[in-house]
Structure 1
């Protein structure tokens, strides 16, 4: 019984303007066939705006991602140059490295087979 009393209180509780909630609900159901079609152009405009904003955001983020890739690529090249200069100072001459994987491995010389 407490639930029914609570539901009754909510239905007949007055809103901010002093109108009972049930009256507001019935008015919304009655007005829906008239109001919903009138809101269609507004809703469509909101959806279009959202799509345009999403496309622009996607394009902007794509450009930022591309710039970030370029920046990291350049930073990698500079880091490689720095390592090569340091290696040249330590070993006296810049080693000729054709494979980037060899920069971290010690140099191996071919020994004649005996």
Structure 2
């Protein structure tokens, strides 16, 4: 099994960390953790994401084996996105990050305001 070192500048694990640490990835995985979704549903649920950014992020997640894209030969064509087995293993750690951000929102905001006043 290949083992990486994220502290090594040339290690591929850095690219993986960039992908899973991206805010759009966190939100997409969160929505897909609730079930399969079409592009339009993802866009509706994730406020602020552009079509271009959603497309790029979904393609990267598909390439990395985190998301599966299924095309159904309906008329019009229907495309759904789902988490792969590997993608489902991200749910718990990413939900922990989301919960941390919710729980510490007030503390972080207060720290930011204090820092900005001191500048």
| Bin for the TM-score computed over the shorter chain | under 0.3
Structure with the higher strand share, 1 or 2: 2
Larger radius of gyration: 1
Structure with the higher helix share, 1 or 2: 1
State the structure with bigger RCO (CA 8 A, min sep 6), 1 or 2.
Answer: 2
Normalising by structure 2, report the TM-score. 0.26
